[in-house]
Amino acid sequence: MLRCCFGKSEEETMREMDEIRASILPRSPSQYYSIYSTPAGRIPILETDEYPFFTYNKSINFISATTTAVKADYAMLVKAHNGGQPIVNELMRCNMSNDALLKVYRDFFCNSAYRVDDQVQHRKDVAVIGESHVRAFKRNLDKISEEPLKHRFENGFAILVKMQTSADELIAHFYASFAKPRLPQRGTDEGLTEEEKEKFGLN
């Protein structure tokens, strides 16, 4: 049975799915804005198709885990600066983890195109705010690279608090409201059978 097919036949809904995928899934960087701004849940999915649910769940967990990694790398950056050490390597590492977080958010926006449940738009709205904080953090890192002033490091900590708040709100809402079977919180493949890992390409 198709989820939310609104009285259409399975063939009609499958055709709609293909058309929407072709129109909104990004094939180039210029198409990213569409994924970022268009309403969530536009692609109906088969109730029995586990993969969209799995990737949606995994991308939420990755937002939480990668936000934690950015915080750890930033702490190392500040520690090096306060200790009078060169910060080039730490700054590069922090930029890399922050860029990885931006990619994870992008993946989440892509996964949000699927109609996994009736809360998908709310979670995307939360993620849009979170991603804006990640971009603000990146701009602050660029300023630190230009001149490592004290107030810029302090501003970085303030932005990190907002990033963590958004990530926490997103994952808390997901685990409180998502009805399908879920991965363990903050995990990626724990609790899956070997067959399931094979199905999702985790082996």
Q: Which stretches of 55-122 are assigned E, i.e. beta strand?
A: none
The pLDDT value given to residue 19: 55
Q: Where are the alpha helices (DSSP H) in the chain?
A: 10-24, 32-37, 50-82, 88-111, 120-146, 150-177, 194-199
Distances (CA, A) of 96 to 31, 141, 192: 23, 11, 29
31 DSSP 8-state letter: G
Task: Report the CATH number of the 51-188 domain.
Answer: 1.20.120
Q: For 46-60, how does the pLDDT look when each residue is reduced to its tens digit (9 = 90+)?
A: 877 888 888 999 999
Give residue 51's identity as a one-letter amino acid code: Y
Q: Report yes or no: 123 and 105 within 8 Å, Cβ to Cβ.
A: no
pTM, two decimals, is 0.74
| pLDDT of the residue at 178 | 82
Chain CA centroid to CA 40, Å: 14
Q: Where are the chain's structural domains?
A: 51-188
Q: Are 95 and 135 in contact (CB under 8 A)?
A: no
User: pLDDT band at 165, cuts 50/70/90?
Assistant: very high
Length of the chain: 203
Q: Which amino acid is at 19?
A: E
Mean pLDDT of the chain: 79
Q: Which residues pair with 117 in a beta bridge?
A: none
Is 113 in contact with 25 (CB distance < 8 Å)? Answer: yes
Q: What tens digit of pLDDT does each residue of 79-114 get?
A: 999 999 989 999 999 999 999 999 999 999 999 999
pLDDT, one tens digit per residue, over 137-156 is: 999 999 999 898 889 999 99
Average pLDDT score over residue span 52-70:
93
Q: Which residues of 106-125 are buried (b: 16+ CB within 10 A; e: fewer)?
A: bbbbbbbbbbbbebbeebbe
- Would you give the end-to-end CA distance of the chain in angstroms? 30
